[in-house]
Amino acid sequence: MTSAKAVPETVPAPLPEDDDLLGVQQAAALTGCSPQTLYNLRHRKAGPECLMVKGRLKYRRSALLEWATKADVETLPNPAPASRDSAAMTTAEVLALPPSMDLDAACNALGIGTTTGYRLVKADSFPCPVIKLGRSIRVPKTGLLRVLGLDASEDRSATGA
């Protein structure tokens, strides 16, 4: 007759009352990082301490706050290089835009990423009026100039009208 061996259970240390476990979305909101940034930092072993609970990635609130106070831009690994494509347009470039433009051009003029621009449009929070034509999104130049604080008369003088 064989007897089953008792397997010792590992019991994690109890958490303090104020140190709750947060999911990735909650941790991202608390730190100001995107969820993908937290995943990338975990992969590089450079992010806040985390643990797996029932197959889910969890962060202790105290570890997140400690990491967020220590982390600054210089210490984050592999910062993305600035490129000309992501830079905001000059005043002359904005004034040279057509009367109506696609969302990518408007985002470039505002100095925001296109993904952020599409999210703002979806949430009806884009900083200037947009026109949705089926799957196409157009941005009138007058609204863009108003948001950028440029005078429409500058536009007419630049085009020679």
Which pLDDT tens digit goes with each residue over 84-95? 444 568 888 889
Same-domain pairing of 88 and 155: yes
What residues make up the domain containing 108?
A: 84-159
pTM of the model: 0.45
Q: Which of the four pLDDT bands, split at 50, 70 and 90, describes residue 1?
A: low
Q: Which helix (H) or strand (E) holds 72?
A: none
Same-domain pairing of 89 and 62: no
Same-domain pairing of 89 and 155: yes
Res 138: pLDDT = 94
Res 81: pLDDT = 44
3-state secondary structure of 2: coil
Same-domain pairing of 93 and 69: no
Domain count within the chain: 2
Helices vs strands, H then E, count in the chain: 8, 6
Which pLDDT tens digit goes with each residue over 60-77? 888 888 887 776 533 444
Same-domain pairing of 58 and 94: no
Same-domain pairing of 93 and 138: yes
Same-domain pairing of 116 and 71: no
Are 120 and 126 contacting, i.e. CB atoms less than 8 angstroms apart? Answer: yes
C-alpha dist (Å) from residue 46 to 29, 40, 51, 79, 148: 18, 9, 14, 13, 38
Domain assignment present for residue 59? The answer is yes
Domain assignment present for residue 138? The answer is yes
CA–CA gap between residue 75 and residue 112 (Å, rounded): 24
Domain assignment present for residue 90? The answer is yes
Asked if pLDDT for residue 152 goes beyond 50, the answer is yes
Q: Which helix (H) or strand (E) holds 56?
A: strand 56-60
